[in-house]
């Protein structure tokens, strides 16, 4: 999960899904990358993050300017957000050919074709999130690879910057 540490990015659901999943899959790592935004009223306090890290549910990596290095090492990008604009993290995940598990909300669903390059889950639903993570874990390496390839294809067809520039020029033209 790569996000500002806000409860409405799905922090609680991510940590709880990690706890539940690790009961059966203790070697699976749930990484969390992002800064604590203390200016935001619904931020996750640092003591909560530290407690969840110390419990082993997640591994908190803090903030990194280069999210690509963490993304490259990850098998799947998870963002169980409650609301988004267009998620830059998920667009980057697609561009890097990563499978995605995210909320079925505007700003996230545009990056996933359910079952093809990841899974969509209802927001605020830790059970559905846990089920999606388990479905991903059950996949063969070949199936995971196909999901990643499809993410890359989606990025090329939906998020190509040249197409965005064409639309912008047409609008401002």
For 30-83, what is each residue's pLDDT tens digit? Answer: 999 999 988 999 999 999 999 999 999 999 999 988 888 899 999 999 999 999
- Joined tokens for residue 93: 């995940």
Q: How confident is the model at residue 86 (pLDDT cuts 50, 70, 90)?
A: confident
CB atoms within 10 A of CB 83: 12
| 91 has a pLDDT exceeding 70 | yes
Map 40-86 to HEC letters. CCCECCHHHHHHHHHCCCCEEEECCCCHHHHHHHCCCEEECCCCCCC
C-alpha separations of 76 from 91, 93, 135, 169, 173 in Å: 13, 8, 12, 35, 39
| 164 has a pLDDT exceeding 80 | no
Place of tokens 């609008």: 171
Say if residues 59 and 32 touch (Cβ distance below 8 Å).
yes
pLDDT at position 64: 86
> What's this model's pTM, rounded to 2 decimal places?
0.91
pLDDT at position 166: 67
C-alpha separations of 22 from 56, 80, 102, 155 in Å: 9, 18, 19, 31
Say if residues 80 and 103 touch (Cβ distance below 8 Å).
yes
């Amino acid at each position: 999960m790569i996000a500002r540490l806000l409860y409405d990015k799905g922090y609680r659901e991510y940590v709880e899904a990690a706890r539940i999943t690790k009961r059966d899959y203790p070697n699976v790592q749930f990484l969390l990358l992002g800064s604590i935004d203390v200016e935001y009223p619904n931020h996750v306090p640092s003591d909560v993050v530290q407690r969840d890290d110390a419990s082993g549910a997640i591994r908190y990596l803090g903030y990194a300017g280069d999210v690509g290095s963490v993304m490259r090492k990850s098998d799947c990008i998870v963002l169980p957000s409650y609301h988004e604009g267009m998620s830059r993290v998920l667009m980057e995940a697609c561009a890097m050919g990563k499978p995605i598990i995210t909320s079925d909300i505007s700003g996230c669903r545009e990056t996933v074709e359910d079952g093809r390059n990841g899974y969509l889950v209802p927001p605020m639903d830790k059970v559905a999130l846990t089920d999606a993570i388990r479905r991903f874990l059950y996949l063969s390496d070949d199936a995971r690879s196909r999901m990643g390839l499809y993410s890359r294809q989606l990025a090329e067809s939906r998020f190509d910057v040249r197409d965005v520039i064409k639309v912008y020029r047409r609008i401002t033209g």
